[in-house]
Amino acid sequence: MKVLLAAAEIFPLVKTGGLADVVGALPEALVVAGAEVRLVLPGFPTIVAGLEDASVVCELGAVFGAGRVTLRLGRLAHNGVAAYVVDAPYLYRRVGNPYQANDGSEWPDNLQRFALLGWVAAHLAAGELDPLWIPDILHAHDWHAAMACAYVACHPGMGVATVFTIHNLAYQGLFSLDDFHLLGLPSRFMVSHGLEFHGQLSFMKAGLKFADRITTVSPNYAREIATEEFGCGLDGVIRARGVQVSGILNGVDGAVWNPATDVHLGSHFSAQSLDGKAVCKAALQKELGLRVDASAPLFALVSRLTSQKGLDLVLQALPDAINGAAEGGIQLAVQGNGDPELESAFLAAASAHPGRVAVCMRYDEPLAHRMIAGADAMLVPSRFEPCGLTQLYALRYGTVPLVRRVGGLADTVVDATPDAIAADLATGFMFGPATSRALGQAMQQATQAYRNPMLWRQLALRGMAQNFSWEAAANQYLALYTTTVQSKAAQRLPSST
Ligand code: ADP
Ligand code: GLC
């Protein structure tokens, strides 16, 4: 099975969130599962720099507003996976993140930038750009790569089967319908059965309407997005795809996230010996200016600061949790960046509670590891969460997750109910309504459990014993690729009647 993965982010070269972690880990897992995998990535400066042994596949000339576009093939220096890089300096080589300038504004030419990615992926899949390697499956991730599915669909002759994975339905890649002509698609794609979405152009819809199969990153989110509450206006489109939509849970990259070997930690630990975790906690408290106190329950949050993540609930629940005299009060460490209002609210909370609340408003990968290792509990109070990775990392590090019962969080954490504790199944704490009251109660419950060291240890060890592996996910993707290729081939057979 030859698989071409198309995406805009890849850890460790370009990362704004969990998409990068997935694209960083999935290719190798697919290779182990028996697939032949290549990636197609936009030529952001760090991606171009991370490509080794590169050779030019072809010169594409001037397309999508770029003066010159060169398609290179090489190996990613960090994992040896083969990757095509779309080197279009005019579109991709700039300072900022993949989607936005440093001032937070969307790049004005995102339509051209990500249409080009999808267009190259589709033409690679058609065998037009590299006739030496033609994939059986084109697997596009999120709206950034979704146009590949429309470009494949617009040529009836293209045999490649397509899978589209939704990592987050809330980010849809919406553009002005006036720019439709820039895409080079026939006008029949400009309708509501195509890319049109409430008077705009939706790249997300290219994946939802035209991929042969759709996946998302947890079974529960796959069910949720078929409802009005979580469907972001696209639930009807998703329901119409019926059983062609499924959920495959993300895994954890054990080479990056392992408390016994993590290069970012001063001290290591494992389920067999947790001593190093206490050392990590003290080091984190010291680093962040929290009171160094082994007995204070330290809650951590590592997150993009957006409304998705339910962080306003944390701000509201905080005063009670800090002053909860009966439980001795908690400590809170927050790492995140994004929404300026949330940033200033957390900074204000830190100055109101010195030694008890610490905030780090920056993107910093090594610090994220120290936070997840050093904390006792990990907060993930999201309003919606397609999968969520920080609770999975927390489980591996014996850091007990406290999550909202939603999306992938509900699939991956077992709430510490009396029954679950008695059966030794519990791995964390959950709350239902998206209210600060419900979150506060769960924090109180967690704090009480923390005061019972036997129980806390039981929860931590049960969490560490979970196995959210990429191996399992890769096998599911491979099985899906196989059935998708088969049914596509069957569709192409001439009808016998
Ligand atoms: P999302 O993709 O919605 O942001 P996930 O939980 O799937 O949520 O993935 C978030 C990823 O980004 C995790 O790897 C987490 O450790 C990382 N992360 C989030 N914020 C930061 C930050 N400020 N610094 C470093 N890593 C961060
Ligand atoms: C998205 C989602 C997150 C998921 C990640 C990786 O960014 O918000 O829940 O874990 O993609 O699939």
* Cβ neighbour number for residue 465 with a 10 Å cutoff: 12
The answer to whether 2-251+471-492 and 275-466 have equal CATH topology is yes
- Over residues 370-384, the mean pLDDT reads 98
Instruction: Tell me, in angstroms, the distance from the centre of ligand 2 to residue 21's CA.
Output: 9
CA dihedral 77, 81, 86, 87 (to 10 degrees): 20
Radius of gyration of the chain (CA): 23
Q: Which of 440, 297, 314 minimizes the C-alpha distance to 383?
A: 314
Q: Residue 119: which of 60, 174, 164 has the closest Cα?
A: 60
**What does the pLDDT average to over 381-404?**
98
CATH 3.40.50.2000 fits 275-466, yes or no: yes
Positive or negative: CA dihedral 76, 365, 17, 385: positive
Instruction: Compute, in angstroms, the gap from residue 3 CA to the centroid of ligand 1.
Output: 26
Cβ of 247 less than 6 Å from ligand 2: no
Q: Domain boundaries in the chain?
A: 2-251+471-492, 275-466
Banded pLDDT at 155 (limits 50, 70, 90): confident
Question: What is the rounded average pLDDT of the residues 430-440?
Answer: 98
- Name the strand (E) or helix (H) holding 326: none
Residue 303 Cβ inside 6 Å of ligand 1? The answer reads: yes
Q: What's the CATH fold of domain 2-251+471-492?
A: Rossmann fold (3.40.50)
- Mean pLDDT, residues 57-69: 96
User: Quick one: average pLDDT of 277-298?
Assistant: 97
Average pLDDT over residues 347-360: 97
428 three-class SS:
strand
| Ligand 1 nearest atom to the CA of residue 308, by list position | 3
> What is the CA 128 to chain-centroid distance, rounded?
31
309-347 CB burial, b ≥16 within 10 A, e <16: bbbbbbeebbebbbebeebebbbbbbbbebbeebbebbe
If pLDDT is split at 50, 70 and 90, which confidence band does 496 have?
Answer: very low
pLDDT of residue 325: 53
What digits encode the pLDDT tens for the residues 169-183?
999 999 999 999 999
Span 393-401, mean pLDDT? 98
Does the beta carbon of 215 sit less than 6 angstroms from any atom of ligand 2?
no
Q: Using alpha carbons, select from 480, 484, 245 the residue that is nearest to residue 386.
A: 245
Q: Which ligand 1 atom sits closest to the C-alpha of 168?
A: 3
* Half-sphere exposure for 376 (CA within 13 Å, toward CB): 27
For residue 497, what pLDDT is reported?
Answer: 44
3-state secondary structure of 375: coil
Beta carbon of 413 within 6 Å of any ligand 2 atom: no
pLDDT at 478 over 90: yes
Q: What is the mean pLDDT of the chain?
A: 96
Distance CA 265, CA 258 (A): 10
